[in-house]
Chain A
Amino acid sequence: MVSTDQLIAGLAEGLTPVARLARPWARALGLVLLASAIILLLVLLRGLRADMAERLADGAYWLQLAGAWLTGVAATLAAFEVSLPDRSRRWLLLPLPAVGLWLSGFGYTCLADWIAIPAGAPIARDSLRCLETILLTSLPLAGVLWRMLGRARPLAPAPVAWMAALAIAGFADAAHLLIHVVQASALVLVINLIPAAVIVTLGGLLGRHRLSRAPA
């Protein structure tokens, strides 16, 4: 049995310098810039949605778009804050106003799109393109965010995982709203929250979350 003094001596003896984590806002800024660059790149490659001219005067559309992007920004910052042990859990409330704005557009645009889609429209093909856009935005962001958040080795990873999923969903839907006519905000949210739910559940079952095993 190692005594506490021996443990301290061992820890001190093997001490190596460590690179401090940058401030949460600085790390969040990096991720937001990356997300915005991905969205911009996709818009350049795919072009703006076909009905953008009509949407320009549609206040609900812009509110939903702003809500989605702001949800991404706020949830990213919240994820980086709560990944640190001494930060308040109240950071988790930060994305709520943006989520409200984003969700407020769900019902309206969904209904409007259902009415607007003519019978026999090539929905299946559009849906595939939609899914492609969602994945092209979500997957790179998820990889980078997983690694960045893992560096903090969060002691309570569940809220961090939820915030990360919400952030990615927000950014992915912002890309989707700019490119595609088909309404899929709810789908985007579900696609991104399911992996987070799986991770959190597995983490709970295993007792220790994989996030905390990411390289420092």
Chain B
Amino acid sequence: MAPADPAPGSDETDWSKLMADSQAGDREAYRRLLQSILPYLRSLARRTGLGADEVEDAVQDVLLTLHGIRHSYDPARPFAPWLTAVARHRLVDRRRRVQRRVRRETPLEAEAETLPAAPTYQPETASEVRRLKAAIAALPPGQRQAVELLKLKEMSLKEASAASGQSISALKVAMHRALLRLRRLLSED
């Protein structure tokens, strides 16, 4: 049986204190705060109606938003309503985007398939993917992180900068070098 989700506000005093310390730059307090709100955010994301594959992305989105507007929290007020408002806004936004995407897509009907599909290049595609993964893994850490955040995670430069602690210009340089290196690595094979 899954553990019960924490009720928002059950750690209210702690959360408010941790957030106030985080605003002052206390990294350990911030790490503890973000870890302790995770179960609540995941529960909220599931209740918003997001699919299981969307929940973790949505939670990360909320964390990045919270990071970007952490200066707007007033420690004299309870933390849970602030967190819930931020989370709900981002989650509802994401659910709307998902719904819009679903509405644009047309389900493939059985009648549409008159002939068996021609064999695709799946084995080669899989091998390409393996080669790309290996090439990314071979990148220096800074360049690898830039590729992961900007390309695989599709973060904006600002978000990636917040997540990695690297400046935007450092990320641009790392991304540029990573692409050159990947091109070279893949053309060598």
Contact = CB atoms under 8 A, between A and B. Distances in A.
Interface of A is mostly: loop
B164 A14 contact: yes
B89 A8 contact: no
Contact of A15 (B22, B65, B86): B22
Contact of B31 (A4, A8, A23): A8
Contacts of A19: 71
Contacts of A16: 25
B3 interface: no
B129 interface: no
B63 A8 contact: yes
B89 A15 contact: no
Given A11-B63, A152-B69, A1 B165 contact: no
Contacts of B35: 8
Interface in A1-39: 1-2, 4, 7-21, 23
Interface string B56-76: 100110011101111111110
A23 B26 CA distance: 23
A142 interface: no
Interface stretch (B9-17, B120-128, B145-153, B172-180): B145-153
Contacts of A18: 23, 25, 70-71
B103 interface: no
A216 B30 contact: no
Given A8-B31, A153-B72, A1 B153 contact: yes
A39 B95 CA distance: 46
Contacts of B149: 2
A85 B65 CA distance: 11
A25 to B, nearest CB: 12
Interface string B158-189: 00011111100000000000000000000000
A86 interface: yes
A155 to B, nearest CB: 5
Interface of A: 1-2, 4, 7-21, 23, 84-86, 151-153, 155-156, 216
Across the A-B interface, give the 7 residue pairs with the lowest CB-CB distance, nearest first. Answer: A14-B165, A17-B25, A12-B31, A18-B71, A85-B85, A86-B82, A10-B163
